[in-house]
Amino acid sequence: MPVATDRPDGRLRSAGTSPAVGRDGEKRLRAPLWAKLITVFGAVLLLASTGTAVAATYLLGKVTDNLQTTDSVLGSGGGVGAQTGGKLPDGAVNLLMLGLDTRAGWEKSGLGSRSDTIIVLHIPASRDKMQMLSIPRDTYAQIPADEELHFGGSSGRINGAFMYGSQGTGGWKGGMKLATKAVHDLTGISFNGVVIIDFAGFKDILEALGGVRMCVDQRMWSSHYVVDGKGKISYAKGADPTSPPSNALWFEKGCRDMKAWEALEYSRLRHSANGDYDRQRHQQQLLKAMAKKATSNGVLTNMSKLSKLLEAAGSSLKIDPNGVPIADFFFGLKGLANAEMMPIRSNGGTYVKAPGGAEGTSDETKALFAAAAADKLDAFLLDHPKMTINSTS
């Protein structure tokens, strides 16, 4: 079976044997892919700073020179932003992660973009884990009015909040603001930070790492790429997403070094018995592989590689750090790079009907949100084990 490699012009060509992939189920749970990103770079910055002060300042600049920040979201009042004294709290931390899958130039079009992934990342005061509450993009929610964005309010799927806020001149800041307000109103959670990352930007980070080593645990096929008779791999435009075509790109079982696009593709797909939950497990594997590669001697001792990695990170992230200096924001999360990751599913993994074909929020899920807001998730999950995700659920 052919495997794709990158061409200088950005297209794909074939060469060798390919990996396998899993196809998307109905729910879009990309939690680990976005949630651990900033903690990985906190660890890298910490390790880099053990060198000279000049080197640490230079490397931090590689992140901050390209990083886009705002204080217009969590500083807008209404309890959306947690109270801060200019630093991350010693206790629990709640971050909102918004993942976009957009094309270049979307902001200039003024049409806006929907948030493809919405994750509440709860870090308990014990700092021994990251509990990731995925909010399905089709969750029915009240989207509040915002006079500055000239938006009168609405109700419907929660991923529409980012779109309404980002339309016209709102851009990513407007989208972030309205999405954060909608999630706050739905969950009751006040946030210590909001992070946006675009799917395309994540690929840039993987490319700066030079790819990662991944292990495919089950043979899976890609609904995004196909292979022609000459072994050339191309985008599967208009392909049937429910069953593999005869020329499907397959990921075969086994461990090997993957290029950036291959590793990212493997982590995206969910054509498997456990659907979304298999994908989350594969995404956890990807992030662990990224963290291992990013903190390896081959990267940390190579100033060129390290600066490219941090520059890619800075270019890929948009953050409202809630008044915390950005260096302190990253360093404040440095201890989490190897913390346990605990993905949590709303509604116990079952569909709850809501108006307009959207997904509802069960009373149990509302209690889950309240437990996160009060930093009592551990006790809640002991009584509601079906809401946690593991490799067999």
- Please answer whether residues 181 and 77 qualify as being in contact, where contact means their C-beta atoms are separated by less than 8 angstroms: no
Residue 355 carries which DSSP code? G
DSSP secondary structure letter of residue 301 = T
Q: Helix, strand, or coil here: 190?
A: coil
256 residue type, one letter: R
pLDDT tens-digit series, residues 343-355: 787 887 777 888 8
Amino acid at 364: E
Please tell me the distance from the alpha carbon of residue 234 to that of residue 244, in angstroms, as a whole number. Answer: 15
The predicted-structure confidence for 91-121, as pLDDT tens digits, reads as follows: 999 999 887 766 666 666 667 677 777 889 8
pLDDT tens digits along 183-212: 999 999 999 999 887 766 778 888 888 899
| CB distance 316 to 25 below 8 Å | no
SS3 129: strand
Model confidence pLDDT, tens digit, residues 66-88: 788 899 899 888 899 998 778 88
Instruction: Supply the pLDDT for residue 377.
Output: 95
pLDDT at residue number 95 = 92
Q: Largest alpha-carbon pair distance within the chain?
A: 62
Tell me: the pLDDT tens digits for 121-152? 899 998 888 888 888 888 999 999 999 999 99
pLDDT reported for residue 347: 81
Residue 232: its pLDDT value, please?
A: 87
Secondary structure E strands in 17-176 = 68-69, 93-100, 117-123, 129-134, 140-143, 154-157
Query: Residue 139 and residue 117: Cα distance in Å, rounded?
Result: 12
> Over 70: is that where the pLDDT of 334 sits?
no
- What kind and span of H or E run contains 255? strand 254-258
CA distances from 137 to 179, 246, 271, 346, 358 (A): 11, 32, 20, 12, 9
Band of the pLDDT at 11, cuts 50, 70, 90?
very low
Rank 56-60, 245-249, 312-316, 380-384 by mean pLDDT and report only the highest: 380-384
Question: How do residues 18-69 score in pLDDT, each as one tens digit?
Answer: 333 333 333 333 333 344 455 555 545 444 444 445 555 666 676 677 788 8
